[in-house]
A = this chain, B = another copy of it.
Amino acid sequence: MRVLGIDPGLTRCGVGVVEGVPGRPCKLVAYYVVYTEPDDDIALRLLHLDNSLAELVAEHKPESVAVERVFSQHNVRTVMGTAQASAVAILAGSRAKLPVQTYTPSEVKAAVTGSGTAGKAQVTAMVTRVLGLDAPPRPADAADALALAICHIWRGGTRARIEAAALKAKQLARRSRGGVR
């Protein structure tokens, strides 16, 4: 299965595309970092991110999308931007009718390294090994997005297909009730 992982951020948003099956080494397809200018208007930044992610989904045609779940951090201002970017990331998948799964940072670390408290260097080292790369992916935002995609492949498979079917059923049910109440 082919998965597009997104590590959401408003200033830097990591995107990693990986192919594989549960428990086996994976194949790197591509990775990117989408940047937006902190000085730009928020409407412009979100639109740029939205356009860029839509383009990458259209180009790589993943079967599902994995997005890092946002938690509160120390810097409230950063959290807002990350939460906004995560909404754009999730929509990039659901608007393309793909199943979207969110994972906490510790779920990703546990899936890739075996420990939910692994450090950044350890995650990057495992991503490099699992994908059979000669050197770690740079910048780090891309490594986290690739780890998300690997996490989804190793944990996912059948589950993703079940969720896609459930999502479609719910969308059909909702449409018949009308979009706006």
Binding site for B on A (CB under 8 A): 32-35, 40-44, 46-48, 50-52, 55-56, 70, 72, 76, 79-80, 83-88, 90-91, 93-95, 99-100, 102, 163, 167, 170-171, 174, 179-181
Tell me whether A95 and B167 are in contact (CB under 8 A). no
Q: How far is the CB of A112 from chain B (nearest CB, A)?
A: 23
Chain B residues, CB < 8 A from A44: 94, 167, 170-171, 174
Whose C-beta in chain B lies nearest to the C-beta of A178?
A: B52
A99→B86 CA distance, assembly (Å): 22
Tell me whether B181 and A46 are in contact (CB under 8 A). no
* Contacting residue for A70 out of B80, B95, B163, B174, CB 8 A: B80
Chain B residues, CB < 8 A from A91: 46-47, 50, 88, 91
Chain B residues, CB < 8 A from A40: 170
* Contacting residue for A43 out of B47, B76, B167, B180, CB 8 A: B167
Q: How far is the CB of A9 from chain B (nearest CB, A)?
A: 13
Interface centre among A43, A83, A99 (most CB of B within 10 A): A43
Q: How far is the CB of A139 from chain B (nearest CB, A)?
A: 11
Q: How far is the CB of A146 from chain B (nearest CB, A)?
A: 16
A86→B82 CA distance, assembly (Å): 12
Chain B residues, CB < 8 A from A76: 72, 79
* Known contacts A79-B80, A80-B83, A84-B84: A90-B180 contact under CB 8 Å: no
- A–B complex contacts, Cβ < 8 Å, 16 sampled: A32-B180, A35-B181, A40-B170, A43-B167, A44-B94, A44-B167, A44-B170, A44-B171, A44-B174, A46-B94, A47-B95, A48-B174, A51-B179, A55-B180, A76-B79, A79-B83
